Amino acid sequence: MNHVEGWDSLRSLLSDLRGATADNITLMRLLNRVKYNIDSMRQDAREGVPKNLAKLFKGKLTKAQWEGMHYGIGKTDILALGMVEAQALLEDPSSVGARILAAEEVLQKHAAPLADRYKTKARVLARYMVRGEVTSQNLLKNARAIAGLFGEVDRPKPENIDERVEPAIEKLIALYAYELLPQSEQEMLQDLAENQAEGLKAVLGMTETLRKLEEEKLTQVQTDDLAVNQALNNGWAGFLPEQTADGAQVVVKDISEHEHMISRGWVRIGAYNGDGNEGYRGKRAYYQSSVAGKSPFRQGLAQSVHSTFRGTNVMTGRSLTGMAGTITGKKAEALAQAISEAKAGSLDNVPNGEYLIPFFDGKGNVIPKQKSNGFSASTVLH
């Protein structure tokens, strides 16, 4: 076929599908070799790191103990306290109250007019991190967003925020999250700290390294300061990279599309009640698929590479997991306006629901909102 006249279009199409042409075949072979090595390293990390960590514990840990460390160390973002304080807290859970008071005093001293709002925002975020519950109509994802009270009435100007406020909020988020852990889980972690010190220190060290690697990502992104700020404004506190089933995806669709979704390999997994502020009059549902999200063919040389930071796309600010769709256009603008005019404090501590979650541009202004996923990723996607 390569030598048949008139088949140029077909040859061009096949080259696009393969990603290789006569001009770039050498480069493609090199890229394939690099990709193979990278995939091998990833696979080794997935399988080798857990095995190496397990060897540092005395005897085989139970599934509950591993899950306890996942939530108690990872999801709580306890390393925001620093290695020494995090370890001390795990060894003495009863000290959490005093540590919370100390962090709250910093806010009271350096941000008195907004201290109560900061504490409330930190608590609802901690609840989301540990329990997956959305109890705010303007859930802010990290200490930076909370310090700026992004999207809300009477938000402070960046230049007026004391430099000690954001670190204090970051600590509070972690402490509130730890406080929400069941007592049995806190006691289990305490037992590991006392009787499995070497293994627990290794897990803490790995988690601290993961946090630092996430921060370093932004120094490697070839983009402008606004995009970096956008990533910082939207990155999730307590984010941990998790491996989901290959191609797994969850979306929200109107039930009128049910037959079409089923025919494409999607499975309805539950009703989506949504946020009343959307003003949606129809009925919708969650659909999950392990195949629909897969690309039908391998991309060629020109591929879209998306930099991520703490579970968000650096260039768009959108969350990569746990969300079921996006609200855009005039509807998003109207929702953002309503949020910005709401009475201070009225948006938080509402009943757990599927509220829209905002994401922000580099200046902390609301851009389109995403639909929070009523199912936890561990339940739906794994």
Q: Report the Cα 23 to chain-centroid distance in Å.
A: 40
* Nearest-angstrom CA–CA distance, 112 and 196: 42
pLDDT, residue 365, reads: 84
State whether residue 325 is helix, strand or coil.
strand
* Nearest-angstrom CA–CA distance, 22 and 209: 43
pLDDT, residue 323, reads: 65
Per-residue pLDDT of the chain (382 residues; tens, 9 = 90+): 555 555 666 666 656 555 556 666 777 777 777 777 776 766 676 667 778 888 899 989 999 999 999 999 999 999 999 999 999 999 999 999 999 999 999 999 999 999 999 999 999 999 999 998 999 999 999 999 999 999 999 999 999 999 999 999 999 999 999 999 999 999 999 999 999 999 999 999 989 988 888 888 777 655 557 778 888 888 899 887 665 555 567 788 889 999 998 988 888 988 888 777 777 788 988 888 766 444 433 444 334 445 777 877 776 667 766 665 677 677 778 888 888 888 998 999 999 988 888 888 888 888 755 555 443 322 333 2
pLDDT, residue 84, reads: 95
Buried b / exposed e along 168-207 (16+ C-beta atoms within 10 A): bbbbbbbbbbbbbbeeebbebbbebbeebeebbebbbeeb
pLDDT, residue 245, reads: 55
pLDDT, residue 13, reads: 60
Q: Report the Cα 342 to chain-centroid distance in Å.
A: 26
pLDDT, residue 139, reads: 93
pLDDT, residue 78, reads: 95
Tokens coding 313: 């796309």
Q: Which of 107, 128, 228 is nearest to 172 (CA)?
A: 107
pLDDT, residue 375, reads: 36
